[in-house]
Amino acid sequence: MKTALTVNNRINRLFEQKQGDILSVYFTAGYPKVDDTRLIVETLANAGVDLIEIGIPFSDPVADGPTIQASSQVALDNGMTLEKLFTQIKNIRTSVDIPLILMGYLNPIVQYGLPAFCDEAKAVGIDGLIIPDLPMHEYMDQYKALFDQNGLHNIFLVSPQTSEERIRLIDKNTDGFIYMVSSASVTGAKSDITTAQEDYFKRVNNMGLKNPALIGFGISNKVTFQKACAYAKGAIIGSAFIKQLSAEQDLQTSITGFIKTIKD
Amino acid sequence: MQYTVDDNGYYGTFGGAYIPEMLYPNVEELRQQYLAIMEESSFQKEFNMLLKDYVGRPTPLYLAQRLSEEIGCKIYLKREDLNHTGAHKINNTIGQILLAQKLGKKKIIAETGAGQHGVATATVCALKGVECVVYMGEIDIRRQKPNVERMKLLGAQVIPALSGSKTLKDATNEAMRHWINNPVDTHYIIGSVVGPHPYPDMVARFQSVISEEIRWQLQEKEGRTQPDYVVACVGGGSNAAGAYYHYMDDEQVKLVAVEAGGEGVDSGKSAATTFLGKPGILHGSKTLLMQTPDGQVVEPYSISAGLDYPGIGPLHAHLFEKKRADFIHITDEEAMKAGVGLGKLEGIIPAIESAHALAALRKMKLAADDIVVVNLSGRGDKDLETYIKWGNY
Ligand SMILES: Cc1ncc(COP(=O)(O)O)c(C=O)c1O
């Protein structure tokens, strides 16, 4: 049974319409320049990306490797805030129709005020949230009702160490997709996928979960993207994309060029 | 026990385990097992043996005569500075290395600020022949050089934390990232009562030996187990938690928590968390945190590396909120004067962290018959360079 919420959510719609090779891209809002957010989102959407994760920068991103740490620091030095982010993506729905997810650590969200955050996220047309340091039981007790009211899917991470029992619990309590962290690792581009990783992808794939999965962390190029897509509906590229942005090149050209190397 | 952790890992509204899923299996394993392991008789036997024969416990409870005269009441110093490696930190690392071994972990990581916890971790790893990696902020590496060399002498690898403010908070971030990258064979020995549940409770329990001893030592000397005051400095809060532990529910004993005021709480260069912070989430727990209105963690400042942390443990946030402990802040200058003063008065050069607790004595309203226990958390050897630079002695 699909609820009304599920039907209207762009994340669910995407997975209904597209069965594989879903390309999701993460970038840190406020990087490289504070006002680049909107241009990056629009360029990614035009380049044929299926889903975008907009990172909310935080001073202490413990799940992130050097690339995202550095982009977060630059974004904060640029004066990026959650308030600015909401202003930048106001009316984004006039130009972009793919699902948009906000990804960030809990503290900036809590300081913004949870109800206000949910209101704003809904108002600008956000479809889902990834909050790596929000514990599941706390989400169930204190966040889920509010997220649901605002049409926000909370996306959970699983890692190679996550027990089968817990993966099933996560699957039960989530809607949208499951974020499979590709290895025991913080974020960061890696050049290959090992057979041990493939075994883990297969294991989760064979569990018959109700939610589709996307694989993220370490996906960096066409080879790793395609390998990941063999075991999941698609994959997420973060650090490798941010490295493209660091190059002193015209943003649109470098974004479009990079996405082409993955898709073609 | 209204001040100990509840079944969900909270102290009132503070605490919890706000960790990414990648750390969940490790932290959950620890949560399920720490109490059972700590209660095993084989664990207790070895823990107590090592505290006695290796660390040198019990540490003396020393009546500081000349200091008492100067302050005008009876002051006892709990001599944690006399522990092996020179601070209270080793009480916790002995406990955690034994626990790590029971969990079958082969490698140890730690973060350190002043280097005392890093040295205490490197020490127990050498004792047990376990590989040890310590993360330390690049700035702290510069200001606590002797401790860096001590860790290396003990066979540990010291990795500079180059991100963010390059101090304790960033060393903690780096250690957490290392743990995410090495989840199976590695145990993370956190050095204070911070981090996700069960760390604050586990570390407090290992440090609780401090107040356990104070009780019987004071009974011997004064015919009573309770002092009027227990005074301790608070960085993350582990020495304070240990000194308070067996008195927390005994409201007759006043608890005084001393934070680093830096150059003054209004100067923008301070680490006085309860005065400058508000509830927030860092390093796995909800606690009081120095932060911008936007929720970014603020760089703290203190002359003392061990107090240079933007948060406090969730237990202390709870003690603050419930007004169970009195929180005082002491400036760099007040602390340095008190540290130099103790050398001249008692022949004891304290760690600059502990000097903050001593300086608080001059801010308290004490009666002549008051009995005060100051937890002298560490010795000043590591701080000689800072004392020398300070001059004025
Ligand atoms: C001597 C000494 N005292 C106190 C502290 C502060 O830590 P805590 O508040 O956990 O006792 C440190 C930390 O490095 C220390 O070395």
Number of Cβ pairs closer than 8 Å across A and B?
A: 106
Contact check, Cβ <8 Å, A133/B182: no
pLDDT at position A82 over 70: yes
Q: What is the pLDDT of residue B129?
A: 98
B9: Cβ below 6 Å to ligand 1? no
pLDDT in tens, B55-96: 999 999 999 999 999 999 999 999 999 999 999 999 999 999
User: Which of A59, A133, A166 comes nearest B164 by C-beta?
Assistant: A59
Q: What is the pLDDT of residue A1?
A: 44
How would DSSP label each residue in B286-304?
A: EEEE-B-TTSPBPPP--SS
Contact check, Cβ <8 Å, A132/B20: yes
The parent domain of residue A253 ranges over 4-263
Q: Which of B143, B168, B239, B383 to mutate to test the pocket of ligand 1 (most atoms within 8 A of CB)?
A: B239
B167: Cβ below 6 Å to ligand 1? no
Q: What is the pLDDT of residue A6?
A: 55
CATH of the domain at A85: 3.20.20.70
Residues of A in contact with B24 (CB under 8 A): 161-162, 166
pLDDT at position B360 over 50: yes
- Closest residue by Cα to atom 15, ligand 1, is B306
Residues of B serving a catalytic function are 89, 111, 377
pLDDT at position B193 over 60: yes
B200: Cβ below 6 Å to ligand 1? no
pLDDT at position B167 over 90: no
Local structure of residue B59 (DSSP, 8 states)? P
B81: Cβ below 6 Å to ligand 1? no
Residues of B in contact with A135 (CB under 8 A): 16-19
Average pLDDT, chain B: 97
- CA–CA distance from A174 to each of A37, A182, A203, A216, B380 (Å)? 28, 19, 19, 17, 53
State ipTM.
0.95
Residues of A in contact with B10 (CB under 8 A): none
- Distance separating alpha carbons of residues A164 and A161, to the nearest angstrom: 9
pLDDT in tens, B371-381: 999 999 999 99
For a pLDDT cut of 70, what percent of chain A falls above it?
A: 97
Q: What is the pLDDT of residue A7?
A: 60
Q: What is the pLDDT of residue B143?
A: 81
Q: What is the pLDDT of residue B148?
A: 96
Closest to A85 (Cα-Cα) out of A114, A121, A134: A121
pLDDT in tens, B323-333: 999 999 999 99
pLDDT in tens, A164-190: 999 999 999 999 999 999 999 999 978
Contact check, Cβ <8 Å, A60/B284: no
Exposed, middle or buried, A20 (CB in 10 Å: 0-12/13-18/19+)?
Answer: exposed
- Distance separating alpha carbons of residues A61 and A63, to the nearest angstrom: 6
B91: Cβ below 6 Å to ligand 1? no
Contact check, Cβ <8 Å, B18/A162: no
Q: Which two tokens stand for residue A111?
A: 């300081």
Closest to B112 (Cα-Cα) out of B370, B306, B377: B306
pLDDT in tens, B178-191: 999 999 999 999 99
Nearest CA in chain A to B184: A161
Exposed, middle or buried, A208 (CB in 10 Å: 0-12/13-18/19+)?
Answer: exposed
Nearest CA in chain B to A83: B294
- Closest residue by Cα to atom 12, ligand 1, is B306
Cα A168 to its chain centre, rounded Å, is 21
- CA–CA distance from A242 to each of A24, A30, A72, A106, A165 (Å)? 13, 12, 11, 22, 35
Model confidence pTM above 0.80: yes
For residue B266, give the 3-state DSSP assignment.
coil
pLDDT in tens, A6-21: 567 999 999 999 999 9
Backbone torsions φ then ψ of A84, nearest 5 degrees: -60, -40
User: Which of B17, B180, B294 comes nearest A186 by C-beta?
Assistant: B180
Structural domain tally of chain A? 1
**SS3 labels along chain A:** CCCHHHHHCHHHHHHHHCCCCEEEEEEECCCCCCCCHHHHHHHHHHCCCCEEEEEECCCCCCCCCHHHHHHHHHHHHCCCCHHHHHHHCCCHHHCCCCCEEEEECHHHHHHHCHHHHHHHHHHHCCCEEECCCCCHHHHHHHHHHHHHHCCCEECCEECCCCCHHHHHHHHHHCCCCEEEECCCCCCCCCCCCCHHHHHHHHHHHCCCCCCCEEEECCCCCHHHHHHHHCCCCEEEECHHHHHHHHCCCCHHHHHHHHHHHHHC
Nearest CA to CA, how far is B108 from chain A (Å)? 17
pLDDT in tens, A186-205: 999 788 899 999 999 999 99
